[in-house]
């Protein structure tokens, strides 16, 4: 058994850059590479793609990521763990085998399934957000339970080069190789709590190495155009030192690590995953070298008996329209345009929003600061049951060209379908996960 293993994170969301993962696989001397590509919203969208074509429903960038990574993974003996299976891990595994055959490479892929619990829900279960039955939100399109480390371990026990999952808790993608490599007990809540701290720090990739952090003049980050993604060297007792590949851009220090540690955390003493109720309050972060941060002190309590289920429902369509005003009294003219739209559409949309981009569109207020901007973009958004009704928003905004205030230009209109997300809980005893191994 190795004393230390190195786990890298090469993607923190579905649309993340491709090259940091390649650099990690090629130069990172990794044991494991993790790509976290599945958000709450992306799995519901993936389920819709799968319904349209049963061979789809995996991550839209899977082919490009695998094509660029596969030779390096095999050459450097790095095992890949990723949730790019999304709504269809089996189809994703078949796709990877097809890519390998085309590249004349030999690969073993393990697909973890069992997170899709759509057939196990009646729709009468209460939504955590509202307390009302799930089906009252709208027509349900998907339900995926967050699987944990126990579901991924059997896949790691095979000789698979690539482990593909659907919905699993993000930190479990990192806890599972630690448990596998060091034979940690899943019942050791403190050990798994520390593993979860490691996973949570790594899971957003570039957000640990200075991405989403920079504020010029105050929080400067070098060479962001070549931002490198992080890896952690983890010892058998769970002590982790985070770093990045030498020569890549970015910065990894206690400040970047603190922001990431608290990112999306509700109660820091009760961070819930399928593996553990982790406690982040005793975590110690220490700079031990340039771009090197040591993390210790993660704790935990016994894992919950229920798993969270992310449920997607049809939430209608959003129509948007935009038009710009610039020069003297730009805001005044944009506000007149907004008032016209408000009068014409208010009765037809229960959910309508009018924003003045350049003034109050992002924070809904300017906290008392109202400098006269040179240009303002009016943005109107409305939600409707059908695409046709939603399109009305953009049509009315476009009509401002000849029916609105002076000097409006650059109108654009969009309509998109919306999948809403609610959550519920399911007894973990009702979930059976499976591993399917494919070879090419």
Partner 1 sequence: MKTKLYDLAHSRAGDKGNTLTLSLIPYRPEDYPILCAKVTAEAVKQHLQAIVAGDITRYELPNLPALQFVCQQALTGGVTTSLMMDTHGKSLSYALLEMEIDT
What is the C-alpha separation between 353 and 97, in angstroms, rounded?
Answer: 47
Nearer Cβ to partner 1 (118/212): 212
Nearer Cβ to partner 1 (180/379): 379
What is the C-alpha separation between 323 and 402, in angstroms, rounded?
Answer: 12
Query: Using the 8-state DSSP alphabet, how is residue 73 labeled?
Result: H
Does the footprint of partner 1 cover residue 143 (CB under 8 A)?
A: no
For tokens 């654009």, the residue is 412
SS (H, E, C) 174-231: HHHHHHHHHCCCCCCHHHHHHHHHHHHHHCCHHHCCCCCCCECCCECCCCHHHECCEE
Helix spans in 298-399 (H): 330-345, 387-398
Give the residue, chosen from 220, 264, 372, 395, that forms a contact with partner 1 under the rule CB under 8 A.
264
Q: How far apart are the first and last CA of the chain?
A: 29
Does the footprint of partner 1 cover residue 135 (CB under 8 A)?
A: no
Site string for partner 1, 67-96 (x = CB under 8 A): ------------------------------
Nearer Cβ to partner 1 (94/279): 279
Long-range interactions of 345-353: CB distance < 8 A, separation 24+: 345/380, 345/382, 345/392, 345/393, 345/396, 348/389, 348/392, 349/382, 349/383, 349/384, 349/393, 350/383, 351/382, 351/383, 352/380, 352/381, 352/382, 352/393, 353/380, 353/381, 353/382
Contact 215, 7 (CB under 8 A): no
Does the footprint of partner 1 cover residue 426 (CB under 8 A)?
A: no
Structure tokens at 49: 């793609």
| Binding region for partner 1 (CB under 8 A) out of 61-69, 91-99, 236-244, 419-427 | 419-427
| Binding region for partner 1 (CB under 8 A) out of 5-13, 105-113, 256-264, 432-440 | 256-264
Helix spans in 34-171 (H): 40-52, 62-76, 89-102, 149-156
Give me the least distance between CB of 365 and partner 1, in Å please: 4
Give the residue, chosen from 1, 225, 266, 429, that forms a contact with partner 1 under the rule CB under 8 A.
266
Nearer Cβ to partner 1 (184/280): 280
Give the residue, chosen from 99, 265, 326, 399, that forms a contact with partner 1 under the rule CB under 8 A.
265
Nearer Cβ to partner 1 (29/281): 281
Contact 309, 425 (CB under 8 A): yes
| Residues near partner 1 (CB under 8 A), total | 52
Does the footprint of partner 1 cover residue 269 (CB under 8 A)?
A: yes
What is the C-alpha separation between 358 and 179, in angstroms, rounded?
Answer: 49
Give the residue, chosen from 34, 169, 234, 261, that forms a contact with partner 1 under the rule CB under 8 A.
261
Give the residue, chosen from 22, 44, 69, 140, that forms a contact with partner 1 under the rule CB under 8 A.
44
Does the footprint of partner 1 cover residue 350 (CB under 8 A)?
A: no
H or E element, residue 22: helix 19-27
Nearer Cβ to partner 1 (122/350): 350
Nearer Cβ to partner 1 (125/355): 355
Give me the least distance between CB of 116 and partner 1, in Å please: 19
User: Beta strand 375-384 with 351-357: parallel, antiparallel or unpaired?
Assistant: antiparallel
What is the C-alpha separation between 300 and 298, in angstroms, rounded?
Answer: 7
Residues 273-332 that bind partner 1 (CB under 8 A): 280-285, 297, 315, 318
Give the residue, chosen from 15, 51, 55, 129, that forms a contact with partner 1 under the rule CB under 8 A.
129
Residues that bind partner 1 (CB under 8 A): 40-41, 44, 129, 212-213, 215, 218-219, 255, 258-269, 280-285, 297, 315, 318, 351-353, 355, 357, 361-365, 367, 379, 381-383, 418-423
């Amino acid at each position: 058994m190795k004393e230390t293993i190195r786990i890298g994170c090469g993607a923190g969301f579905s649309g993340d850059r491709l090259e940091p993962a390649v650099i990690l696989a090629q130069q990172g001397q990794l044991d494991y590479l993790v790509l976290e590509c599945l958000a709450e919203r992306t799995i519901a969208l993936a389920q819709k793609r799968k319904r349209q074509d049963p061979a789809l429903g995996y991550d839209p960038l899977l082919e490009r990521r695998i094509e660029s990574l596969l030779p390096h993974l095999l050459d450097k003996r790095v095992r890949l763990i990723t949730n790019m299976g999304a709504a269809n891990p089996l189809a994703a595994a078949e796709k990877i085998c097809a890519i390998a055959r085309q590249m004349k490479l030999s690969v073993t892929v393990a697909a973890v399934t069992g997170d899709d619990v759509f057939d196990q829900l009646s729709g009468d279960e209460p939504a955590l957000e509202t307390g009302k039955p799930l089906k009252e939100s709208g027509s349900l399109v998907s339900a995926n339970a967050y699987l944990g480390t126990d579901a991924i371990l059997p896949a790691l026990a095979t000789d698979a080069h690539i482990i593909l999952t659907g919905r699993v808790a993000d930190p479990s993608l990192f806890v599972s190789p630690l448990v596998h490599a060091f034979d940690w007990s899943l019942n050791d809540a403190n050990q798994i709590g520390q593993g979860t701290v490691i996973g949570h720090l790594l899971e957003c990739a570039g957000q640990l190495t200075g991405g989403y952090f920079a504020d010029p003049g105050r929080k400067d980050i070098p060479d962001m155009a070549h931002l490198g993604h992080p890896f952690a060297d983890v010892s058998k007792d769970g002590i982790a030192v985070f770093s990045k590949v030498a020569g890549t851009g970015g910065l990894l220090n206690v400040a970047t690590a603190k922001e990431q540690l608290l990112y999306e955390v509700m109660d820091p003493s009760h961070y819930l995953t399928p593996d553990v109720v982790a406690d982040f309050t005793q975590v110690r972060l220490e700079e031990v070298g340039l771009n090197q941060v040591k993390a210790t002190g993660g704790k935990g309590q016994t894992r919950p008996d229920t798993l969270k289920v992310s449920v997607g429902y049809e939430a209608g369509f959003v129509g948007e329209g935009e038009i710009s005003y610039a020069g003297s009294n730009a805001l005044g003219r944009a506000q007149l345009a907004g008032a016209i739209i408000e009068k014409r559409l208010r009765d037809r949309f229960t959910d309508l929003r009018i924003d003045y981009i350049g003034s109050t569109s992002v924070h809904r207020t300017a906290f008392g600061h109202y400098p006269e901007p040179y240009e303002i973009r009016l943005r109107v958004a409305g939600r409707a049951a059908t695409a046709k009704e939603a399109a009305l928003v953009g049509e009315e905004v476009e009509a401002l060209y000849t029916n609105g205030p002076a000097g409006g230009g650059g109108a654009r209109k969009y309509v998109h379908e919306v999948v809403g997300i609610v959550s519920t809980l399911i007894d973990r005893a009702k979930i059976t996960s499976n591993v399917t191994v494919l070879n090419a």
